[in-house]
A and B are shown apart, each in its own frame.
Chain A
């Protein structure tokens, strides 16, 4: 076995502390400023000088963040449900069936993920305008479903492929139809993957910025949280306490979800890589 000297140990400890400081500083600074009543005037300090919830209450009431939060939740949940169902069906098709153009289909789904959003925003703006859905949450949901779909199919394909085929065969031997097998065998086993994918689509919809800004335009009562923050920036002085309080409200749910889902997410990617 190797012997670790105290010098090496101390260096490592210092490196870990530096790494943690760099990694966590922005989050910490966001929280400190959000809870400091004087963050806007004199700048924040390492420990809030006047601890307060005022920034939060201001943001949620006068700032209109309550409406933004409701809009974001509605949009994200609709995106999760629709893209989850559609992606699950498609992933069963590509993971369980052999058919012509299957490989081409998979490549198409992979390539489509690489298209830059800045490129899609112009034609989709025109398209949503033609549908007369500019300034509505419906228009936003339609776009987000299409953004969440390729990754969802790619992820779920791994989870579906990881379910042993023998289980399906056993169900058929017992006389189950395909639909029955799907409902009673495949669906329960893929459920954890579905949860992981759903959280991912939720985060996509929750964080998205370009489309929300472009498609919602001036309809301030339809804003999602990601663009609602912009209203706290004034011409000359910015109310940083309020901006950081709003940022905290946006960030905390995402962080919780992300840490919850992280293990499953990587498991799904690995499963997808190993099983054809």
Chain B
């Protein structure tokens, strides 16, 4: 990666003022982006950290005054029963299940796609793209409609098969609630995994596979001993990106019946932070939850960046 580009603005013979411009040109080009990112992403992050150390409510928002209380918000969160019994399992446990589900299912789909002829593969890939393109908001509403208690197709099918006698409300129970969220998230997330892994699979030379087959290696063994090691970087990126996305699941929970705070059993970190802030006007407490979520994601991001750096070194 040691390519050195000639200094653009090039003509060195054109006088000192032009060279001065050439030196600051990258900063001129970057300035608008840096100002926007600074004012609208970095400064808000700093403010979030400041709010998290205050009892920041409607009064403070209106008057703009401060109300420092040290780490009281964090103590309240970390000693709250909600966090350990409900919110953290709903966040971390769900992320683990959905990442596993998405990656395993996506990889299986990629293997299936690889074994198809080019025309079928193109067609199926196009169909998968449709699932990917469905916005989270409308996708969630469609799943809610499918599992709707009164007229949903899921209850109708179960009733007509005689498995249940009466329509069941699947949204009140924590487990069935999150099973629907899981279905929604996997359905929406597996296309990215499938397409990315497929791109990697098509890059593995066929000859290696055929040689292994001649030597008598089964399909299972070929996958874990040849394909998987070759695609280690692809899998690392796919897993970490899915983890980051699945920790941040918000609309998929918030828009479900009871998901907006009325059913406290189904809160996750993001929704908890939101309903404490905008529902109870406890912006300081909500910020403290958001700080915890951000720190959690920061750790995962650090792993992500290190993986990418290692990958670039290998190229």
Contact = CB atoms under 8 A, between A and B. Distances in A.
Contacts of B127: 20, 23-24
Contact of B8 (A116, A149, A168): A168
Contacts of B163: none
Contacts, number: 261
Interface in A117-135: 117-127, 129-130
A123 to B, nearest CB: 4
B29 A12 contact: no
A89 B32 contact: yes
Interface stretch (B96-104, B146-154, B224-232): B146-154
A211 B10 CA distance: 45
A169 B274 contact: no
Interface in A239-258: 240, 243-244, 247, 250-251, 254-255, 257-258
B274 A43 contact: no
A226 B137 contact: yes
A27 B278 CA distance: 32
Interface residues of B, number: 98
Interface stretch (B66-74, B78-86, B168-176, B285-293): B285-293
Interface string A145-159: 110011001000000
Interface in A69-122: 85-87, 89-90, 92-94, 96-99, 102, 105, 107-112, 114-122
Given A97-B25, A116-B247, A255-B130, A90 B151 contact: no
A230 B150 CA distance: 19
Given A12-B116, A16-B124, A146-B37, A90 B138 contact: no
A244 B305 contact: no
A66 interface: no
A146 B45 CA distance: 13
Nearest to B32: A86
Contacts of A250: 135, 137-138
Q: In terms of DSSP, what is the predominant structure of the interface of chain A?
A: helix
A118 B45 contact: no
Interface string A173-199: 000001001000000000000000000
5 contacts: A12-B112, A90-B29, A97-B8, A209-B251, A254-B135
Given A23-B127, A172-B10, A244-B142, 5 more contacts: A30-B145, A99-B26, A122-B277, A243-B141, A254-B133
Interface of A: 2, 12, 15-16, 19-20, 22-24, 26-27, 29-30, 33, 39-44, 85-87, 89-90, 92-94, 96-99, 102, 105, 107-112, 114-127, 129-130, 142-143, 145-146, 149-150, 153, 165, 168-169, 172, 178, 181, 203, 206-207, 209-210, 214, 226, 229, 237-238, 240, 243-244, 247, 250-251, 254-255, 257-259, 262, 266, 273-274, 276
